[in-house]
């Protein structure tokens, strides 16, 4: 593995770990408001981000590279509302998409076909990540941020991951 590719993958590991930390910070807001379904959704998102980090971690070692962990920046902890959080989550996912696209461009430049193949999963995953956040944003706009609509959505978000757990 070329050193510039290794460096870029290490940076992506850090970005994925930051993403997990960001989603945990968002979960703390929801836990503090008693919105357990929203908190659950964010905690599941944090778990997914760690899975992404470990996929890249393992890939680096499969290609005889080295992983060098960097510090993880402190995420924001002050949010205005549920809608604010999900809008920030969508903005963040769009940023991660740009990082993954940058990695793919590097793989193309370096003619690293294995990396191109590996990144295909992440490219597809980012489409799902952005769509998922967008979906909650639209539903929050319909339900409102106070009253029964919010609590119905909160209960629904508690179901995230239940389908995987029942099939496992």
Q: What is the spatial distance between Cα 118 and Cα 125, in angstroms, rounded to a whole number?
A: 12
pTM, rounded to two decimals: 0.92
Structure confidence at residue 145 (pLDDT): 83
38-75: b or e for each residue (b if 16 or more CB lie within 10 Å)? bbbbbbbbbebbbebbebbbebbeebebeeeeeeeeeb
Q: What is the spatial distance between Cα 95 and Cα 97, in angstroms, rounded to a whole number?
A: 5
Structure confidence at residue 146 (pLDDT): 85
Domains observed in the chain: 3-160 (1.20.1260.10)
Structure confidence at residue 162 (pLDDT): 61
Q: How far is CA 138 from the centre of its chain?
A: 19
Query: 80 near 117, Cβ under 8 Å?
Result: no
Structure confidence at residue 163 (pLDDT): 53
DSSP helix/strand/coil, 135:
helix
Query: How far is CA 79 from each of CA 37, 40, 66, 84, 108, rounded to the nearest angstrom?
Result: 17, 17, 37, 7, 39
Query: 126 near 97, Cβ under 8 Å?
Result: yes
What's the angle, vertex CA 52, arms to CA 156 and CA 23, rounded to 5? Answer: 45
Per-position pLDDT tens, the chain of length 168:
999 999 999 999 999 999 999 999 999 999 999 999 999 999 999 999 999 999 999 999 999 999 999 999 999 999 999 999 999 999 999 999 999 999 999 999 999 999 999 999 999 999 999 999 999 999 999 998 888 999 999 999 998 766 554 444
């Amino acid at each position: 593995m070329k050193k510039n590719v290794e460096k870029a993958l290490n940076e992506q590991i850090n970005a994925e770990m930051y993403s997990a930390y960001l989603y945990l910070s968002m979960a703390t807001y929801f836990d503090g408001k008693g919105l357990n379904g929203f908190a659950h959704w964010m905690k599941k998102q944090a778990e997914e981000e760690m899975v992404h980090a470990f996929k890249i971690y393992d890939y680096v070692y499969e290609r005889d590279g080295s992983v060098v962990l960097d510090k993880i920046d402190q995420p924001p902890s002050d949010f205005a509302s549920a809608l604010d959080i999900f809008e920030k989550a969508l903005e963040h996912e769009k940023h991660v998409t740009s990082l993954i696209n940058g990695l793919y461009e590097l793989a193309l430049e370096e003619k690293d076909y294995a990396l191109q193949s590996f990144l295909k999963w992440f490219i597809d995953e980012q489409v799902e990540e952005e769509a998922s956040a967008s979906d909650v944003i639209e539903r929050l706009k319909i339900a409102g941020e106070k009253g029964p609509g919010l609590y119905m959505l909160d209960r629904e978000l508690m179901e995230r991951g239940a389908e995987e757990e029942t099939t496992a």
